Amino acid sequence: MADDLLTPKHLKWIFAMVLVAGVTFYFMWGFAFHAFFDYANYTISVILVFTGLFGTFLYRELEREQAKAKASE
């Protein structure tokens, strides 16, 4: 049942939104507190951005694997 809720298409959008959230958080925190060079800002932003990038690249590899499997059939 959980597999039906989180399909690879959903994961693609979740990871993309996490990436956008990381960049948005960096700028919003920086403008709100005038602290672009703050370790807290870096910490949260880097975690969100790298999670989004890693997930996006994993999803891209999943699509390539599926394309190879279909081509070899």
Half-sphere exposure of 35 (CA within 13 A, CB side): 11
HEC profile of 10-64 = HHHHHHHHHHHHHHHHHHHHHHHHCCCCCHHHHHHHHHHHHHHHHHHHHHHHHHH
> Does residue 1 or residue 57 have the better pLDDT?
57
Reported as a pLDDT band with limits 50, 70 and 90, residue 60 is confident
Q: Please report, for the chain, the start and end positions of each structural domain, with discontinuous segments joined by +.
A: 2-72
Residue 65 has pLDDT above 50, yes or no: yes
Residue 1 has pLDDT above 50, yes or no: no
Residue 25 has pLDDT above 90, yes or no: yes
Taking residues 39-55, report their average pLDDT.
95
